Amino acid sequence: GYLRIDALLASVLETKNYFRRQAHPFTDFYYNLVSVGDQGRTAVFVIVFANGSSAKGPRSFGVVLRLDLFTQHYDEIEWVQHASRAVPSFLRHWCNKLALNQRLREQRIGPFCIGAHPDQQKSQNWPIPESEANFDPHEDANVDLEVWAKFVESANLTGAKITEYPKKLSFCSLYRDCDMITNRAVTAAKPVSHLDCRDGATTLVYG
């Protein structure tokens, strides 16, 4: 079998009165697979979509879902909305940031290493800068309570746009069992000469 995200989203929206009254509840949508658990049975997705209604209201919405791939039962972890933006470029960027924050919350990394249990924390969409490196020499700082408590306290007090962060968070901290290989080199039109394995001596060399 296979999973259709548009059908999943339509099923979710059918349970909401706000969307059920609309002929076309969503137009553009984007999604990210955040994580897989229970030996491959459950998956967490972030889905964002443009509001299909022309009436007044938020222009876009996002939802974090935990889906049982066997039974198709899902839990709605969190809903978010944006009042004024719904263009595709924004939706794509927003979806990526929400997915990053959800993974930070699951792993209790960065600002999510403090406070309540992750399931009780709002994502807040922290715009944390990330690194695609396969090795992080300062990985312990990702869960340093003192470092991140000061950061969160300062951000909450000022309420201003955050411009400084304790550190970049590496993808290898988010997905510890994976070697991170991204398409940034491809989209930047830069040739890839080699790929290194994070936990071994293997190197793939091209050319």
Q: Tell me the per-residue pLDDT of 2-49, one tens digit each, with 9 for 90 and over.
A: 788 999 998 998 888 877 677 677 778 999 999 988 888 899 999 999
SS3 42: strand
47-95: per-residue pLDDT in tens? 999 987 767 788 899 999 999 998 999 999 999 999 888 899 999 999 9
| Residues 83, 56: Cα–Cα separation, whole Å | 10
Number of Cβ within a 10 Å radius of residue 191: 8
99-136: pLDDT as tens digits: 988 988 888 888 888 876 555 455 566 766 666 655 56
- What is the structure's pLDDT at 84? 86
Q: Is 129 helix (H, G, I), strand (E, B) or coil?
A: coil
Q: What is the pLDDT of residues 126-174, one digit of tens each?
A: 766 666 655 566 677 777 788 888 888 777 766 556 667 777 777 777 7
42-51: strand order across its sheet: 26-37, 42-51, 60-68, 74-82
| String of DSSP letters for 93-139 | HHHHHHHHHHHHHHHT-GGGGSSS-GGGS--TT----EE--S--TTG
The answer for residues whose C-beta is within 8 angstroms of residue 168's C-beta and 6 or more apart is 128, 129, 130, 131
